[in-house]
Amino acid sequence: MNSIISYIKRIVTSEYLALVLRIFVGYFFIYSSVSKIPYPAQFANNIASYRLIPYPFVNILAVVVPWAELVTGLFIIIGLRNRATAIVIGLLYFGFIIMVGLNVIVDSPISCGCYDTVGEPVSWLKVGKNAIWLLFALQIFFYDRLFLLRKGGRR
């Protein structure tokens, strides 16, 4: 039993798992931004439907969030400022969890607006998925040690 726990711990703390998660998280951030960047008005409608952001900030967020997703997705994939990028990604996922969770609690019939203009409806399953993505960002933050663009090579 002890060997199984140490094996799982070794996998969870692996820098190679962090590399795989970097590519995985970065891909999905880039994928989600590509459908939002060309249509900021539709994304602004999705943000406004959550009824949590003050109206003057909706348009600003509709422009900034997709570009932040694109830049952080690219940065995390290429290994540029991994820890800072993981913090930004983690904060975005934390915000997504709060926004979706609050709308699930009030039983709001809206779509999440995650990857497309007509996304899946908000649900506890979506909150759980975002929590898993947040755990991925935390794993990258704590255990990623493959800084490919850092002077001096691998570490």
3-state helix, strand, coil in the chain (%, to 5): 70, 0, 30
Residue 60: pLDDT band (50, 70, 90) is very high
- Tracing tokens 């493959």 back to the chain, one arrives at 146
Percent of the chain at pLDDT > 90 equals 46
Q: What percent of the chain has pLDDT over 70?
A: 90
Task: Please write the tens of the pLDDT for every residue from 89-148.
Answer: 999 999 999 999 999 999 888 887 777 666 678 889 999 999 999 999 999 998 887 665
pLDDT of residue 85: 92
* Residue matched to tokens 């002077």: 151
* pTM for the structure as a whole: 0.83
pLDDT digits (tens, 9 = 90+) for 63-79: 999 999 999 999 999 98
Mean predicted confidence (pLDDT) in 36-41: 89
| Cα 111 versus chain centre, distance | 17
Number of alpha carbons in the 13 Å side-chain half-sphere of residue 74? 7
Mean pLDDT, the chain, integer: 86
Q: So what's the pLDDT on residue 149?
A: 56
Is the Cβ–Cβ distance between 64 and 72 less than 8 Å?
A: no
The yes-or-no verdict on residue 150 having pLDDT over 50 is: yes
